Amino acid sequence: MKTHAQQLAPASRSAAALCRFRLTSSKMSQALLSILALCVLQTARAADTNSPAIVKSEFIFETAPFPSCHASTIAETKSGLIAAWFGGTAERNPDVCIYVSRMENGHWTPPANVADGVGFATNRLPTWNPVLFQPKSGPLLLFYKVGPAPASWWGMMKTSSDDGKTWSPAQRLPEGILGPIKNKPVQLPNGDILCGTSTEGDGGWHVHFERTKDFGKTWTATPPVNDSKEIGAIQPSILFHPNNRLQAIGRTRNDKLFQIWSADGGGTWGKMTLFDLPNPNSGTDAVTLSDGRQLLVYNHNTRDGSKNKGRSPLNVAMSKDGENWSAALVLEDDLNAPNGFAYPAVIQTSDGLVHITYTWERKRIKHVVLDPAKLTLQPITHGEWPK
């Protein structure tokens, strides 16, 4: 007995074959389009990977005891590099801890849990935004936050006398003192450590500055330096300029980066303003290089400019005066990458190289080393990244 398929008329079989051919052709076309799209995407993401300024690009870890990570920080000790970040199930989860990795013999050590939110309430609390800082003398400092949310967190600190191999017990900072909120502090010529910090809450986003003369034992703080109704700003980075002038720049809710200046080494601050570089309400970092130039790492995008809330591309810009900026490098460029590339930290090490760490899709922490002398610069005009 013939099957149903065998009973098809020749014309019907021809039609079925044509249908199958069209279906197969359609699938092949879709596959080719997918391959072409992937090639275009990889080309976009790899646009600057061949830059002679890039000395190294690597992930700090490939596997880890946490699925999500964010908010990295990096410092140079006498033993070498050290990095930290927070990791756990997801941001705000009580299992989020501070992890550290050190560079040893050219390789990063496995992530080590060095701080958590145990012991502050009936329920365990998440940790947030670690900041490493190595003063010119004295112990390595680790600042971080503990609390259920940014509006109600508090500042914590640990120290290490062996370059991050072991750490002191956690110390809660004085009431009203948060420590550096995301980006590294700076050490002033007189030895004071000046921290850019900020608060978030019902009263808006406010920047202020905290100072310690004795490695975190005692503190002073400025009042808020901005009106959050005009500019909602957080997470400043502090830059050095001639004649005891300081500049702080950072994140806002106003689609552009903020800047604010001090003419007396951070004692008092002028009026906060916005400048031309865009900001998608995402963290930035900056550093003053040994030659006096300013280097900034940020997302040159708006919040609605991509599917990851503007957290791609991730860019490097340079300036001689902190006001006129030039495009230097695109570190990442994938507008569809889940969670994007964000929250950079940047330092210049004693050998003159620039080290950048940042969140890579909330899955890993990436480390990129640059030679600033080999960066090719193009002016940024009217806030537009050059084509």
CATH number of the domain at 60, please: 2.120.10.10
Question: What pLDDT is recorded for position 387?
Answer: 87
> How far is 103 from 82, CA to CA, in rounded Å?
6
Q: Spell out the per-residue pLDDT of the chain, length 387, in tens.
A: 444 434 434 444 444 343 343 434 444 444 443 333 333 333 333 447 889 999 999 999 999 999 999 999 999 999 999 999 999 999 999 999 999 999 999 999 999 999 999 988 767 999 999 999 999 999 999 999 999 999 999 999 999 999 999 999 999 999 999 999 999 999 999 999 999 999 999 899 999 999 999 999 999 999 999 999 999 999 999 999 999 999 999 999 999 999 999 999 999 999 999 999 999 999 999 999 999 999 999 999 999 989 999 999 999 999 999 999 999 999 999 999 999 999 999 999 999 999 999 999 999 999 999 999 999 999 999 999 998
| Residues 217, 315 share a domain | yes
| Residues 21, 128 share a domain | no
In the block, which residue shows the tokens 């801890």?
Answer: 97
Residue 384 placed within a domain: no
Which of helix, strand or coil describes residue 123? coil
Residue 144 placed within a domain: yes
Residue 183 placed within a domain: yes
Residue 29 placed within a domain: yes
Max Cα-Cα span within the chain? 99
Residue 387 placed within a domain: no
Which of helix, strand or coil describes residue 209? strand
The whole domain housing 235 covers: 53-379
> How far is 335 from 226, CA to CA, in rounded Å?
32
Residue 385 placed within a domain: no
| Residues 236, 174 share a domain | yes
| Residues 84, 32 share a domain | no
| Residues 9, 151 share a domain | no
| Residues 248, 349 share a domain | yes
pTM over 0.75: yes
| Residues 30, 93 share a domain | no
Q: Nearest 5°: phi and psi at 5?
A: -65, -35
Question: What pLDDT is recorded for position 120?
Answer: 81
| Residues 178, 29 share a domain | no
Question: What pLDDT is recorded for position 255?
Answer: 97
Alpha helices in the chain (DSSP H): 10-45
| Residues 306, 252 share a domain | yes
Check if the beta carbon of residue 354 is closer than 8 Å to that of residue 330. Answer: no
Question: What pLDDT is recorded for position 181?
Answer: 98
Pair type for strands 285-288 and 294-298: antiparallel
One-letter amino acid at 119 equals: G
| Residues 144, 20 share a domain | no
Question: What pLDDT is recorded for position 18?
Answer: 39
Among 45, 63, 78, identify where a domain stops.
45
Domain count, the chain: 2
Q: Nearest 5°: phi and psi at 6?
A: -70, -20
Question: What pLDDT is recorded for position 11?
Answer: 40
Q: Which two tokens stand for residue 259?
A: 């800047």
Asked whether the CA dihedral 185, 69, 317, 233 is positive or negative, the reply is: negative
Q: Which two tokens stand for residue 137?
A: 């003398």
Question: What is the DSSP code string of 233-275?
Answer: EEEEEEEEETTTEEEEEEEESSSEEEEEEESSTTSS----EEE
- Burial class, 8, CB count within 10 angstroms (exposed 0-12 / middle 13-18 / buried 19+): middle
Which of helix, strand or coil describes residue 14? helix
Ramachandran quadrant class, 224 (left: phi over 0; alpha: psi -120 to 50; beta: rest):
beta
Question: What pLDDT is recorded for position 57?
Answer: 97
> How far is 276 from 281, CA to CA, in rounded Å?
14
| Residues 318, 276 share a domain | yes
Q: How are strands ordered across the β-sheet holding 154-160?
A: 127-133, 140-146, 154-160, 171-172
| Residues 145, 19 share a domain | no
Task: Kindly calculate the radius of gyration of the chain based on its CA atoms and give it in whole angstroms.
Answer: 25
Give the residue from 265, 305, 264 showing the smallest Cα distance to 282. Answer: 305
Residue 62 placed within a domain: yes
> Residue 384 carries which DSSP code?
B
Residue 386 placed within a domain: no
Start-to-end CA distance of the chain, whole Å, equals 70
> How far is 82 from 357, CA to CA, in rounded Å?
11
